[in-house]
Amino acid sequence: MCEGSGSQKDIYLPELATIRKKQKFTRLEMYYHVELDSEKELGHKAGQFVEVSIAGIGEAPISISSSPTQTGFELVVRNAGSVTNAIHNLDTGAKIGIRGPFGKGYPVDELKGKNIVFICGGLGLAPQRSFINYVLDNRDQYDDVEILLGTKCFEDRFYVDEITKWAQRSDVNFVETLDVGCDQWKGNVGVVTTIIPKVKTDLSKAHVLVCGPPIMYKFVLMSLAEAKVPKENIFVNLERRMKCGVGKCGHCQMNNQYVCQSGPVYRFSELGHVPEAI
C-alpha cells in the first residue's frame, strides 16, 4: 500500500484514550487501566506493546500487561524519563495518545497443549502477565503451567494480590524469590536461577518464556542449556530495545531486522546470528 493511504497513515496517528484506573505499585512503577475513546477494543495479542504519547512531550513504548481476554488494556509504566515521568503525573480521567498495538507477541496458539514455564524478572512480569492471564483464562487448552518470578527486593514487588492468587491455584506451580531478603519475606532468597530447580515439569520437554533485565538473560539461558532445553523451545522478550514502534528510527535495529517489527518476542534459536541481542 502506498505511503499516505488511510491504513498506512493510521500507524503514525495516535488514538485518544482515557485513563480509567491508576495505582501506585512501587517507587518507580505505576499501574494504569486504559480504554480507547472510540470504545473499540485495542485488539492486541499477548506480548505486544503500544506507543503512549502526551502532547508536547513525546511518546514511549510500553508493553501491554493485560490479556486480550479482558475489556480495555493495562500498562505498568516505569518512571525512567521525561515521557514516563509525565505519564506518572496524570490522574484518572486524563487523556493520552495510543498508537498500536505493535510487534510480534507470544506464540499463543503454537503452545496450546504444551507444558509452559514462565521465567519473569522484575518489570519483565508486565509483558509476561499478558500471556500468563491468557493461559489462565483458557486453562484447559494448555498442559503444565509454571511461573517463576524473581524481584530485587520486597518493596519492588507488584501485582501482589494477583500473584498471591496464582500461588494458591492447584493448576499452577508458582515460585517466587527475592534477590535480597527482609523481615517481611518468608520465601526463597536468591536470584531467579536459584528457583529453576523447583520446576516440576521436565524442562527439556517444556517451552520456556523468559523476560527480565539484561543481566538475567545470560544466567537464565545458561541454566536452561544445562537443563537441555532446546533453543527452539525458548522464547525471549527484547522489548527494552524499542522506541518508535514502526521500524523508522533504527533504535532497535539488530543486523538487518527491527525488534519492534520482528519482535519483541523471539525464539532463542532465531538469535544465533545476533550475539548482541542478549
As a whole number, the mean pLDDT across the chain is 90
- Cα torsion 177, 181, 187, 192 to 10°: value is 10
pLDDT digits (tens, 9 = 90+) for 130-186: 999 999 999 999 999 999 999 999 999 999 999 999 999 999 999 999 999 999 999
pLDDT above 90 covers what percent of the chain? 79
Pairing of strands 58-63, 49-54: antiparallel
- Among candidate residues 26, 28, 192, 33, the one with its CA nearest the CA of residue 117: 192
What is the reported pLDDT for 5?
Answer: 37
Residue range 175-198: mean pLDDT, rounded: 96
Alpha helix (H) residue ranges in 103-258? 125-137, 160-168, 214-226
Residue 92 φ then ψ, to 5°: -55, 135
CA distance 159 to 228: 32
Residue 241 has pLDDT above 70, yes or no: no
Q: Residues 3, 11: contact at Cβ < 8 Å?
A: no
- 245 vs 226, residue with greater confidence: 226
pLDDT digits (tens, 9 = 90+) for 32-66: 999 999 999 999 999 999 999 999 999 999 999 99
What is the reported pLDDT for 182?
Answer: 93
Per DSSP, the three-state class of 10 is: helix
Q: Which domains does the chain have, with CATH numbers?
A: 6-102 (2.40.30.10), 116-277 (3.40.50.80)
Per DSSP, the three-state class of 47 is: coil
Distance from first CA to last CA of the chain, Å, rounded? 34
Q: Residues 46, 131: contact at Cβ < 8 Å?
A: yes
Per DSSP, the three-state class of 21 is: strand
265 strand-pairing partners: 237
- Kindly indicate the confidence band of residue 272, based on its pLDDT and cuts at 50, 70 and 90: confident
- 188 vs 248, residue with greater confidence: 188
The C-alpha cell at 127 is: 509483558
209 strand-pairing partners: 118, 235
pLDDT above 70 covers what percent of the chain? 86
Pairing of strands 253-254, 265-267: unpaired
